[in-house]
Structure 1
Amino acid sequence: MNDTRTQFRALHVAGNPLVMPNPWDVGSARMLAALGAKALGSTSAGAAFFMGRQEGTLSFDEMLDAACALGDATGLPVTADLESCGGDGPDDVARAIKVAAARPIAGASIEDISANGQPFGLTQAIDRVSAAVDAAKDTGLVITARAEAMQWPTGDLDDVCNRISAFAKVGADVVYAPGLGNAEMVRAVVKAAGDVPVNMLVGSNEGAFSVASLANLGVARISTGAALARAAYGAMIDMMRDVLESGRIQYPATTASFDEIQALLPKSSQ
């Protein structure tokens, strides 16, 4: 088993969550590593923004390459955001996971929505996760199964918990339900997951979660998704709107100094 994958798997401890930020490029990855991150997750949305494109427009190979670049630059375990994981059918998923497992990443995620944003039925979603688990067998690749229903207009917590429970039963290593807005929702998902580690996305200030509060709820991993990229780009957008609309030139209070950034980056490409 790949040592990085063993290391990544061991970092998932319920009640003592791994804080796993999601950089969007090599520079942000190296800064996060220098700040003390123990593992990283790629973000397909952040990678698309970096490439000047909209979320959902990257190919499977582009998403995988973006994730590998983060690990190459930092040496940290990286789990790859692979969106729908190569196609709709279980065979598509199996092929994608086998390709991913041959690359230097520690994990990969699989969503229960298609590339065009349509949710898969429960049976198909379970079959896809099962195919990912089987394809990753004996490779050590950590499979994260995502239940996206809280982000659908018709989604509800019962549906999320049913999917989380089913994904755990077919062997997902980590389960993940974006869009949980309060402690009761998080508690319900942790219960549905049983002994399987739960990832909590903290992608906004909604819910006002802290690491301590999520630890108390039994969460094993905390990720930021595209929020760090959105925060960085948001500061730029707000400033330039102000400049262009009012003529005022004022940088945000959070603007890093030149020396601060320099100190977080290596002097060479290695």
Structure 2
Amino acid sequence: MDNTDEALRERGERFHALHQGPDVFVLANAWDAGSARLLETAGFTALGTTSAGLAHALGRRDGDGGVGLGQTLGNGAAIAAATTLPVSADLEGGFGDTPAEVARTITRAGGTGVVGGSVEDTTGDASAPIRPLDQAVERVEAAVEAARALPFRFTLTARAENFLHGRPDLEDTIARLRAFERAGADVVFAPGLLDAEAIGAVCAAVEVPVNVLAAGAAARMTVAELGALGARRVSLGSGLSRTALTHALRAAREIAEHGRLDRLTQALPMEEVHRWLGSEDPTPPAPPMP
């Protein structure tokens, strides 16, 4: 990928424009450089990283704090370097408790080649997983200020995580998303909404674009149906990486338990994989950042 300021400005503007419509679009989440190339070839217009997909690739559980900022930024840099598409980074809780730490995370992310990122209102503490609203807003404000200071357009997504942490409070979730909108977030996101009614209520409650995660009720709908509810962006989260693991595990069990090898015949031919990757000598992934 061309990582010049001019290229970043072009990708940043292109990513921003996707959110302005008129159609809903899919943010396909890659977990490494190879999957980024495959997803670009499949026809997507923008990519995201996935904290869960990265954690699983490293042999770790998602959300346990086992993946640090350096690994996250290194993964984002490798994905951004592998594609011509704009990339948005899953920055989890911002890798810091204070607004200043979150701002530094956004600034560092801006140096990796990604042109967007998300920040959650989580604490990392299972006994009190969601931050008080005033703290969450201060962190979004700091992230927005850092994003605006970058030399290209950086699309900031603010996430309200209630529904992923056993707090299915739609009223509080909407209040948080509205506060994040007032704080300057470009996109808002409440993963885990339980049904179409809740998705529609969130989309109607704010004026900025809404991201919907393709999981649970949303995964049983089409992209067009989610767009009709008001979603501007549909992200896939760890869905594709888990799908890949699912098929690999099923094939492995057939071999280990029954000695059957025929599932391997369903794999893409090596020549087709090489064609999708687009190069016999792909750009090496960027090293993990310190």
Structure-2 separation of matches of 1:198 and 1:204? 17
Secondary structure in structure 1 of the residue aligned to 2:135? helix
Pairing 1:58–2:67 present: yes
**RMSD (Å), alpha carbons:** 2.0
Q: Give the Å deviation of 1:131.
A: 1.1
Pairing 1:164–2:177 present: yes
Structure-2 separation of matches of 1:252 and 1:159? 48
Q: Give the Å deviation of 1:9.
A: 0.6
Aligned to 1:136: 147
Structure-1 separation of matches of 2:264 and 2:93? 36
Q: Give the Å deviation of 1:204.
A: 4.9
Mapped contact 2:36–2:82 kept (Cα < 8 A):
yes
Mapped contact 2:49–2:87 kept (Cα < 8 A):
yes
Distance 1:254 1:109, change over 3 A: farther
Structure-2 separation of matches of 1:152 and 1:205? 17
Q: Which moved more, 1:241-250 or 1:62-71?
A: 241-250
Aligned to 1:100: 109
What TM-score does the superposition give when structure 1 sets the normalisation length? 0.92
Secondary structure in structure 2 of the residue aligned to 1:135? helix
Q: Structure 2: which 5+ residue stretches go unaligned?
A: 1-7, 284-290
1:27-48 CA distances to partner (integer Å, 9 max, x unpaired)?
A: 1110111111111000011112
Identity across aligned pairs (percent)? 39
Aligned to 2:256: 244
2:247 to 224, 229, 235: 235
Aligned to 1:13: 20
Pairing 1:83–2:92 present: yes
2:32 to 8, 21, 25: 25
Secondary structure in structure 2 of the residue aligned to 1:41? strand
1:73 to 72, 82, 85: 82
Structure-2 separation of matches of 1:205 and 1:157? 15
Structure-1 separation of matches of 2:12 and 2:165? 32
Distance 1:115 1:9, change over 3 A: same
Structure-2 separation of matches of 1:124 and 1:132? 12
Within a 5 Å distance, the mapping from 1:127-206 to structure 2 comes to 127-139=138-150, 140-193=153-206, 195-204=207-216
Structure-2 separation of matches of 1:243 and 1:205? 34
Aligned to 1:264: 276
Mapped contact 2:157–2:187 kept (Cα < 8 A):
yes
Q: Structure 1: which 5+ residue stretches go unaligned?
A: none
Mapped contact 1:41–1:81 kept (Cα < 8 A):
yes
